[in-house]
Structure 1
Amino acid sequence: MNLAAFKRSALIPTSALAALAVGIAAPASAGEVVQPLAHSISAAMAQDTASATYPMTPAGAAAWVDMVEKDMLGYSIRASRIYWVNATYITPDTDAMAAEIGAEGTTKSVDYALEAAKYAQVPGLDAEVARKLDMLRNMIVLPAPTTDGAAVELNEIATKLNSQYGKGKGVLNGEPINGSDIEAEMGNLDRTPAELAEMWASWHTNVGAPMKDDYARMVAIANDGAKELGFTDVGAMWRSGYDMPADDFAAETERLWQEVKPLYDSLHTYVRTKLNEKHGDAVQPATGAIRADLLGNMWAQSWGSIYPLVAPAGAGDIGYDVTDLIAAKGIDEVEMVRVGEKFFSSLGFDPLPETFYDRSQFTKPADREVVCHASAWNIDQVDDIRIKMCIKKNAEDFTVIHHELGHNYYQRAYNKQDYLHLNGANDGFHEAIGDMIALSITPEYLVQIDMLDRERVPSADKDIGLLLRQAMDKVAFLPFGLLVDKWRWGVFDGSIAPATYNDAWHDLKREYQGVTPPVARPADAFDPGAKYHIPGNTPYTRYFLAHILQFQFYKAACDQAGWEGPLHRCSFYGNEDVGKNLNAMLEMGASKPWPDALEAFTGTREMTGTALLEYFAPLQAWLDEQNKGKQTGW
């Protein structure tokens, strides 16, 4: 799946709807504030009820968790229906409904997290009850402490930061330019280095810098909240959601990065050489770091836009285009979805319910405003699964459909689990499953579903171009996917102080990505704020994990199917043994620690980048040949 599709795709969580998942930190709509009086009354009532009905004993804790799961299930179904209507029929009234249900979810998540922290201290807890209590404590991304006024202040800051980002503008040729337009222009190959530098610097300065003081205050408040929940800081709280000690998880992500770093280094060296050839030493030196604004993306996280600058000679024409194949077959938007369904049916999965086709949004209605951002939903946590898209009859949306259906089949597979287990094994699994399915759209698969004639299958000499194009998104993303949260972990634990926020950010970008700003940055700038997920308080490590796991899942499926060719050309379409094994992992949901789920499908309990390296092995060999005599690293 290319990064453009990846960025458009989203999963609507089953066990933690938007309001429950983000708690105080991100209200359902801008301006929605949890009133402190309402919160304190609710918390007091919850505490009185809990102490009377659910004593601080192992049995009391188990009964309390059971009560919470029943309550949250009922809430999630009501909330899902409201959020669906709001997303597919945007009016002031549906906005108000979504804000109201979001406020209710915020209060629930805070109250239950605080109570869970108390029950977690009870000696002799059943292991599964203890695990569920940890899930409840981790349900809030930014926890507010119980100090009077803290919840309101934290909510106001989070809302303000989101609003500042949404209203942010950069400058191009002296004229203001909004966020979506400036992102597109960063990938415009006709822009000069001076124009790229102007956009990069203005966006980071205008959007990020005003946030710095508020962000530091938000960190301080949220850390107090994390301590009330029993964590040393917010970063430790985030890392504790992976069925291992927080520090062990940090070490695990670094181990994975070191596995795949040689491939990234080879790609970096090759791309740097091509940029040097185009721009000259004065703009991009032949050695050292790459100028961040030259890579076709504001954050240098995806390099696909500049693929034409680095493409091997003759590699661009692969002999077919999926968009053209869709047109030639006369496939409409709904039929594109049915083609995706057939992929899963061929693996032995049950057909989608007819309600899926009756209730999903496949195209943009002409009579109302809707959210077109692709997403997968399970409204009733059983079988009312849907996707929400504004499908275009092109290759990108053909891929996105397969990705979103991957989420839906995962949701349906684990629908018999307890409420708190209605989710992926860890937060990287859901995205990885969607992307694993998207990886399966190979020429062989297109032949098998009668969309491509076998004589038009690209020859092996086209593989390098195909792999390089994928690597410009999937491999280029890896270090950025890791460093965003490494920076935040340092901010939350205090090792990165406000005075060094910006220097630490660019130090990490240079260390991991090998990129450098196009212009000098003052130490009091706040360039991290120019990336949505920082002011939006969205944990980011899940995307790094998904980029590793998707290849691990894909290789496991290909091995089980007995595929003997190059991994990147594998198709396991029609193999019911693969489907049976895959379902064994999917149906576990979050009921077991993620190593158990991983082992159920791949046979190993360890995440590894070796499958990604095998997938791109022909490309790395080619890159290393091209890079002979060049300095690797920065």
Structure 2
Amino acid sequence: MLRFFQVLTYSCCILLSYSKLTEEIESAKDFLESYNREAEIENTLLYNAIWNCYTNITDYNQNLMTKAQQRFARFGKDKWEKLKKWNWRNFTDEYIRRQFQKISDVGESVLSNEKYQRYSEIKSDLEKLYSTAKVCKKPGDLNPEKCYSLEPDLNQLMANSTNWDELLWAWKGWRDETGQKMYKMFDEYAELFREAARINGFEKADEYWKSWYEMDNFDSEVDRLYEQIKPFYQHLHAYVKRKLKKTFKDRKFPDSDHIPAHLLGSMWSNSWVNIFSQVAPFPNKTNIEVTKEMSNQKYTVKKLFNISEEFFLSLNLKAMPKSFWKDSMLTKPQDNRTVFCFPSSWDFYNQKDFRILQCTEINMEWLVITHHEMGHIQYFLQYKHLPVVFRDSANPAFHEAIGELLALSVVTPEYLQKIDLLPKINNDLDMDINFLMNQALSKLTLIPFAYSLEKWRWGVFNNNIKKEEYNKAFWKLKCKYQGLSPPIKRHDHDLDPGSIVHVPYGVPYIRYFISHIVQFQFHEGLCKALKHKGQLHRCNIFKSKEAGSLLSKMMKLGSSKKWSVAMEIITGQSKMDGSSLLKYFEPLIKYLEEENKGHKIDWNEECSDSYKLVSINGKRENLLAEYIKIQLFMIICINLCINQIVIVF
């Protein structure tokens, strides 16, 4: 009888426990349903306020944006507090547990109201400094009041000029007007970020951003990927450096074998594609460049976006909603508004409003960018049915990888011929090498750039890099990993990382590092699905329903599953690896190895502290200052002549 009552008591306990757990799960489901409704509304309000500010940057709109961010932070913090009601970490239902886990990530919103308000103010000020910066007093300008914005003025100058001093003026000027002015407030921003990470349970602040990848060995994996591509990058660096020395044959390059950072065709040296004409292996061969043909065909911005949409429709993916065409900002406004022109794609979280913000121009670069940004929109459309917390890519890099994956097809001769932008050409190995060089200057060069930038930010967030060493540490990493050195002496108060948009806007950059690895894995996986025969760099997924089906299946998961599950759908494997990238560039790698025989292919890890601009005769002097003096002298002379004043020197 005693045994009977023991069993009965035990059974009752189990039933009560099960009943309590069932009740808790049902309560959790009700909470999630309520949260999802509210989160859609709050996200829509937030992104409307941010959109209004970015498309018309004024103090008024900036203030409204800050208030919206603070409101959203209060919403997130309130839900974070309510999560404590449930023992959600022990939920056996992974789908429910994963939603609770993501709701618990409230980032900086976890700060006290006073500190979060201060954090928002600093971040808003940093963003405004960047988005409104202009560089003035260009040597040689007759109008000393003329100023230049980043887009399109300075970007075009950095892309097209081969004048060392002009490039240096733009390079230094942009950093003076952005990073240097952020220096005093950035340390407070970093300290508040560290405090938020501690409250969120992260011993080291950098672990917060890394946690989004759900990997215990994140650092070692990133290091492994960098080491995989490092030999290829070293060969590219050595080849490009020799070519640039011919372009700037009257200038002194550092003895440390670094490349001066202002010579690589962009403001930040993350992409070197704009110097292709200076480094092309076979300059007399036809280059795959369709800008002129786009002009001949009178391409409009609308046509450029229509072409991009047709790419997705050919894969049996979704069309853009009508509101996309009505509400997006696809060109720079002509009404003198100050706008944020950096290309971006927007999900307003109401399952119907998706937009792009970019100041589109008609050239091949923008053809690629447009396909990339619409790739983000396609991702939004594919997972819009999911709960709000799952409306994101499997990890932050996958969103970028999908956009870049499409670009791998868009730039192929096969695709450009199909959309009538490129005539049929006799292809040969030399043309392939030129094509792959162009791709490497765009793709490969970003990887060490991202690697060095994020190692710097992680060091700052962990407080291993102190304020007085911000810039020194930044250039130490750039010199070591990217093989670049500053073209002019830098100082402690020069916060050069602040000249990179992702730093003042607080956007992690390691996503681009990873996306530039995994996009090639995705590309190879899709090319296998469509049974492509031939070299990987000539594969084009346009009109492939098989590729579209795999993409859709992966994107529909959003972030509801770990990224390894999503990756396996396309690649058949669950590990990030650089071998697909190396396979894609195999012909170019062989070419560079042959070209670099007998040449040094690495560089000193340490920056050359003694490096200054040196004149042709070897005298150490600041050529920029001399250049400015000469230009000012010429301006004075012209003005004197105009006013009919004669002066004898």
Which band: TM-score by shorter chain? 0.7 to 0.9
- 2:35 counterpart (68, 77, 84): 68
Q: 1:334 to 1:303 in 2, by over 3 A?
A: closer
Contact map agreement 2:73 2:106 (CA 8 A) in 1 = no
State the one-letter code of the partner of 2:384.
N
C-alpha separation in 2, matches of 1:186 and 1:252: 34
Contact map agreement 2:397 2:511 (CA 8 A) in 1 = yes
State the one-letter code of the partner of 1:236.
E
1:323 matched to 2:295? The reply is no
- 1:106 counterpart (67, 73, 81): 73
1:396 matched to 2:365? The reply is yes
1:446 matched to 2:416? The reply is yes
Query: 1:492: how far off?
Result: 1.5
C-alpha separation in 2, matches of 1:337 and 1:301: 25
Q: 1:285 to 1:97 in 2, by over 3 A?
A: closer
- 1:527 counterpart (467, 479, 496): 496
Q: 1:151 to 1:328 in 2, by over 3 A?
A: closer
Query: 1:139: how far off?
Result: 4.5
Query: 1:242: how far off?
Result: 1.1
Q: 1:447 to 1:520 in 2, by over 3 A?
A: closer
C-alpha separation in 1, matches of 2:289 and 2:258: 35
- 2:120 counterpart (144, 151, 155): 155
What's the counterpart of residue 334 of structure 1? 302
Matches within 5 A, 1:226-625: 226-245=197-216, 248-280=217-249, 283-285=252-254, 288-315=257-284, 317-318=286-287, 321-327=289-295, 332-354=300-322, 356-357=324-325, 360=328, 373-379=342-348, 381-389=350-358, 391-441=360-410, 442-453=412-423, 455-456=424-425, 458-523=427-492, 525-625=494-594
Query: 1:573: how far off?
Result: 2.0
Deviation string, structure 1 residues 33-73 (Cα, Å, up to 9, x no partner): xxxxxxxxxxxxxxxxxxxxx9x967655544443222101
The structure with the larger Rg is: 2
State the one-letter code of the partner of 2:40.
L
Contact map agreement 1:138 1:238 (CA 8 A) in 2 = no
* 465-474 vs 426-435, greater mean Cα deviation: 465-474
Find the residue that maps to 1:376 and give its secondary structure: strand
C-alpha separation in 2, matches of 1:432 and 1:410: 11
* 554-563 vs 69-78, greater mean Cα deviation: 69-78
- 2:162 counterpart (179, 190, 193): 190
State the one-letter code of the partner of 2:194.
N
1:145 matched to 2:111? The reply is yes
Gapped regions of structure 1 (runs ≥ 5): 1-53
Find the residue that maps to 2:345 and give its secondary structure: strand
State the one-letter code of the partner of 1:191.
N
Q: 1:366 to 1:519 in 2, by over 3 A?
A: closer
* 285-294 vs 340-349, greater mean Cα deviation: 285-294
Query: 1:470: how far off?
Result: 2.1
Task: Using structure 1 for the length normalisation, give the TM-score.
Answer: 0.80
Q: 1:457 to 1:425 in 2, by over 3 A?
A: farther
Find the residue that maps to 2:599 and give its secondary structure: coil
C-alpha separation in 1, matches of 2:124 and 2:59: 19
RMSD in angstroms over aligned alpha carbons?
Answer: 3.4
- 2:90 counterpart (106, 121, 124): 124
Contact map agreement 1:290 1:516 (CA 8 A) in 2 = yes
Deviation string, structure 1 residues 422-474 (Cα, Å, up to 9, x no partner): 11111111121111112212211233345544x33644421222221221121
State the one-letter code of the partner of 1:594.
W
State the one-letter code of the partner of 1:215.
F
Q: Give identity over the alignment, percent.
A: 32
Contact map agreement 1:290 1:515 (CA 8 A) in 2 = yes
State the one-letter code of the partner of 1:342.
E
Contact map agreement 2:450 2:513 (CA 8 A) in 1 = yes
C-alpha separation in 2, matches of 1:564 and 1:351: 30
Contact map agreement 2:24 2:86 (CA 8 A) in 1 = no
Q: 1:487 to 1:444 in 2, by over 3 A?
A: same
Q: How many residues align?
A: 573
Query: 1:615: how far off?
Result: 1.5
Find the residue that maps to 1:295 and give its secondary structure: coil
Deviation string, structure 1 residues 118-142 (Cα, Å, up to 9, x no partner): 46876523444443333234343x4
Contact map agreement 1:443 1:458 (CA 8 A) in 2 = no
C-alpha separation in 2, matches of 1:293 and 1:422: 39
Contact map agreement 2:408 2:540 (CA 8 A) in 1 = no
Q: 1:506 to 1:99 in 2, by over 3 A?
A: closer
State the one-letter code of the partner of 1:190.
T
Deviation string, structure 1 residues 272-312 (Cα, Å, up to 9, x no partner): 11223333596115762222222233332222232222122
Gapped regions of structure 2 (runs ≥ 5): 1-20, 604-649
State the one-letter code of the partner of 2:127.
N
Contact map agreement 2:285 2:430 (CA 8 A) in 1 = no
